[in-house]
Chain A
Amino acid sequence: MSEDGFRIITPSDLDDYRDRAGDIADAAWPVFMHHDPIANENWHELFDRFEAYQFAMLDTENDRMAAMGNSLPFQWTQALEELPEEGWDWVFLKAIEDHKNGIAPNIQSAIQIAILPDYQGQGLSVRMVRAMGAIGKSRGFKQLVAPVRPNQKSNYPLTGIDDYITWITDGGLPFDAWLRVHVRAGARIIKPCHGAMKIIGTRADWEQWSGLKFPQSGAYIVPGALTPMTMNIAKNEGLYIEPNVWMVHEL
C-alpha cells in the first residue's frame, strides 16, 4: 500500500524496526510516560504474540519511519460501556492473558499511535487510525476500541476528564486534537477510564523524569501530564494516575 509518499510497513519489513519505533516513542512522549511498569514489562509481547497488529508508516522519499501504530486483539463479550476504568494497563494484560489461555479474540484495541514530531500536522494521524482498523477488519472484528490519551488535556490538568471530553469546537467536534482525530475517522466516545495508566517512581526518579524538584509532599503539575502527580515524601513515592478515554470505531 503506497499513497503520496508513505507506505505501511510491518515489523518484519525492517531489521531495525523496533529501534526506529522506539525513537518515535521517545520523541512523542514525555519522559515519565516511558515508566509505566505494565508497558515496560510487556512491550515485547506485542512482537512475540501480536506481531500482525503492529505497523508503521514509512516515508518512501527518505526511508524514515514517520509514524507507528500498536494494537492487540482480545475478547470482550460485555457491553462496551462496561470496559474497565484501568483502560490502557488493563487491556494490555487482558490481551496477553487471553492469548496465553487460548481465548479467541473478538475485538481489537489500540495501544499507541505515535507520530514523529516532524510529521505531525500532515494528516497522518487519521490515516494511522484507519490503517489500524484495517488490521482488525481483516481478522473479522467488528470494532476497534482505544483507551485514547487526550493529548491537550495536559494544558488543563485541573479540569476533570469527564468535563474535558464534553468540550467541543465551533464545528461540534471534540476540543481535544487526538479525540478529534478519532471522531473524524468515525469513532465515538464511550466514556473516560480514570485509571488508564499508573506510573510510580521515587522522588529522585520523578526529579530526573521531569526536571522539577519535589521538596515536600503534595500535588504537582508535571509538564505533559494530564492530571497533577501526587508526591508522598514519607513514602518516597510519586504517583501519577493517567485518565484516558475509551473510544470505539465500528469497522
Chain B
Amino acid sequence: MKQDRFRVITPTGDIDYRNLVRGLTKIVWPEFMLHDQVANELWHELLDRFADYQLALYDTQNNRVAAMGNSFPMRWDDTLENLPETGWDWAFAEAVRNHREGISPNVHCAIQIIIHPDYQGQRLSAPIIESVRAVTASNRLPALIIPLRPSEKSKYPLISLDDYLTWTNEAGLPFDPWLRAHARLGARIVKACHESKIIRGTRVEWEAWTQMKFPQSGRYVIPGALVPIEMNVEKDEGVYVEPNVWIVHEVK
C-alpha cells in the first residue's frame, strides 16, 4: 500500500474534511442515485452522530481526496442470514434509531465506499476497504457488514441479482469487480437484499435525471441502474428498486 502517498483523513482529525470530500458522491454516482429519500433525509446524521466512522483517503501528492468510506455502528442480534431485504435504506434508518435510543451497537455497517473516477484502476479498493475495516477493529466490533452495490450489474439489467451473484471468473472469484475486491480481502456473500434502495420520482424528474424520455408506462433500462425502472405514466411515478448484496467481513 502506498501509505506514503495516501493518508486517512477523518472529520474529527482534519478540520478541512468536509470541504475535501464535498461533491465526491455526486461525481461517482449516476444522478438518479442521489435521489434516495432515506439517504437524503439522513445523510447529515453521518457527521452528526457517527463522525468517528467517516473517513477518506487523501492523496498527499495532489492534495485531494481519492476515496471515501462512510459507515456507522448498529445493533443486530439475529443471524446475518436474516438481515432484511430492505438492506441499505433499512440499515441507515436502523442505525440512527439505535443511536437515538441509546442502544449499544454490536456490528459495523458500511453504506458507501467509493473511489474517485480519476483514481479508479489504481489499486485503491483494497486500501479504502481496509481503512474501513480498521474502524471496525478499533471500535472492537466483530464484523463489518455491507449492503453492497455490485458495480457491473448495470451492464446486465435483465439478469436477476441472485443469478448474477453466482457468476464467477476463471479464478473462482465473483464475476463482479467490486464484489471481487471485497472477496479478495476475505469477505463472504451473505445473500441478496432485493429492495435495498427505493428511488421514486415523477416522470419529469426521471427525464431530468437520465436525459431520457418516458412517453408510456412500462419498464425502462436506465444507464447505471442495476435493474429496469418501472414507469407509471397515469400515476406520474417512476420507481427504481435497487437490489444489493449483504456481505460480511469478519474482523478479528
Contact = CB atoms under 8 A, between A and B. Distances in A.
A-B complex: 7 closest residue pairs judged by Cβ atoms: A167-B215, A215-B167, A158-B219, A219-B158, A221-B221, A221-B157, A157-B221
Contacts of B220: 156, 158-159
A218 B160 CA distance: 10
A213 B163 CA distance: 13
A220 B212 contact: no
Given A158-B228, A167-B213, A175-B213, A215 B175 contact: yes
B233 interface: no
22 contacts: A155-B221, A156-B212, A156-B221, A158-B220, A159-B216, A159-B220, A163-B216, A167-B215, A167-B216, A175-B213, A212-B155, A213-B175, A216-B163, A216-B167, A218-B158, A218-B159, A219-B158, A220-B156, A221-B157, A221-B158, A221-B221, A228-B158
A156 B215 CA distance: 11
Contacts of B228: 158
Contact-residue size bin, chain A (C-beta under 8 Å from the other chain): 10 to 19
Where chain B touches its partner, the secondary structure class is loop
Contacts of B157: 221
B142 interface: no
Interface in A136-185: 155-159, 163, 167, 175
B215 A158 contact: no
Given A163-B216, A218-B159, 17 more contacts: A155-B221, A158-B219, A159-B216, A159-B218, A159-B220, A167-B213, A175-B213, A175-B215, A212-B156, A213-B175, A216-B159, A218-B158, A218-B163, A220-B156, A220-B158, A221-B156, A221-B158
A221 B215 CA distance: 21
A96 to B, nearest CB: 37
A167 B214 CA distance: 10
A185 B156 CA distance: 38
Interface in A219-250: 219-221, 228
Determine the main DSSP class of A at the interface with B.
loop
A17 to B, nearest CB: 37
Contacts of A212: 155-156
Nearest to B163: A216
A106 to B, nearest CB: 37
B225 to A, nearest CB: 11
A244 B156 CA distance: 24
Contacts of A228: 158
A101 B155 CA distance: 47
Contacts of A158: 218-221, 228
Nearest to B154: A221
Nearest to B228: A158
Contacts of A220: 156, 158-159
Nearest to B169: A213
Nearest to A157: B221
B171 to A, nearest CB: 14
B34 to A, nearest CB: 21
A213 B155 CA distance: 10
B167 A155 contact: no
A220 B158 CA distance: 6
Interface in B149-201: 155-159, 163, 167, 175
Contacts of B212: 155-156
Scoring A175, A215, A219 by chain B CB atoms within 10 A of each residue's CB, the highest score goes to: A215
A191 to B, nearest CB: 19
